[in-house]
Amino acid sequence: MTEESWKRFKTLLKNALHAVAFTGAGVSTLSGIRDFRGKNGLYKQPETEKMFDTELFRRDPSIYYRLAKDFIYGLDEKQPCVVHRVLADWERKGILSAVITQNIDLLHQKAGSRRVIEVHGSPRFHFCLRCGERVPFKAAAETARRGEVPLCPKCGGVLKPEITFFGDSLPEEALREAWEEASAADVMLVLGSSLTVFPAAALPDLTLKNGGKLIVVNDQPTRADAAAALRFSDLGEVFDRFEREKPFD
């Protein structure tokens, strides 16, 4: 990161009228959560491609709960990283309007971000496949950590997390809000996303289409690199410096 690019990053954010962040799994790796498609990602491990298969879940939910026991139901042990903390701080200062995230780990909320749009759903609630009853994460997690399938306290049906599995539709309200935020943004920070999972990966295109600028920070190339106003590879380095120097105080 050159001094010139660092200064331009600060200037773009300071002058932005509507800045948003779009975050992917690369942010969560800084909190010790494995990504999906990286060289050591979850999908490199046996069977993990079955974890978020909605048809398989409905046939045998125990497969999901076995594979997700540590990844999802160990989230209480994970803490926000520097990126989560800085983004929450920027929202408090009025610099950032919203965080749009592909992540399902709840760490933006744990860091203090209030406007978090979860385009791939969230485990914050689980719902009953039989009667629709909603159960908070903590109650479902207690059962899942014992290696059991959580059941509805009302009717005994199987509980499924409100995460978007393969074969599910994306949450309509979250997708609508994300589209509005991306369209309104004059600066979008694309952080730790490979931009390969659609339709969420098309959100930066909306910002560009409406005259906004992209700042991409990711350790691997993305489809938005050529169009980005700024491009960095090391999330930790960039956000450690923001946390250390606090240029917007």
Q: Per-residue pLDDT averaged across 191-210, rounded?
A: 93
CATH of the domain at 129: 3.30.1600.10
Q: State pTM to two decimals.
A: 0.92
Please give the structure tokens belonging to residue 52: 């978020």
Which residues are catalytic, by number? 120
Cα angle: 1, vertex 238, 101; to 5 degrees: 130
CATH of the domain at 97: 3.40.50.1220
Report the Cα–Cα distance between both ends of the chain, in Å, rounded.
22
Tell me which residue has tokens 């600060």. Answer: 10
Q: What local confidence, expressed as pLDDT, does residue 162 receive?
A: 97
Q: How far apart are CA 139 and CA 126, in angstroms?
A: 9
Number of domains comprising the chain: 2
- Residue 181, pLDDT > 90, answer yes
pLDDT by residue (tens digit) across 6-16? Answer: 999 999 999 99
Partners of 37 in the β-ladder: none
Supply the range of the domain harboring residue 141. 36-77+122-163
Please give the structure tokens belonging to residue 110: 């744990």
Tell me which residue has tokens 């990844």. Answer: 71
Domain boundary among 132, 163, 194: 163
pLDDT by residue (tens digit) across 107-139? Answer: 999 999 999 999 999 999 999 999 999 999 999
For residue 68, the one-letter residue type is: A
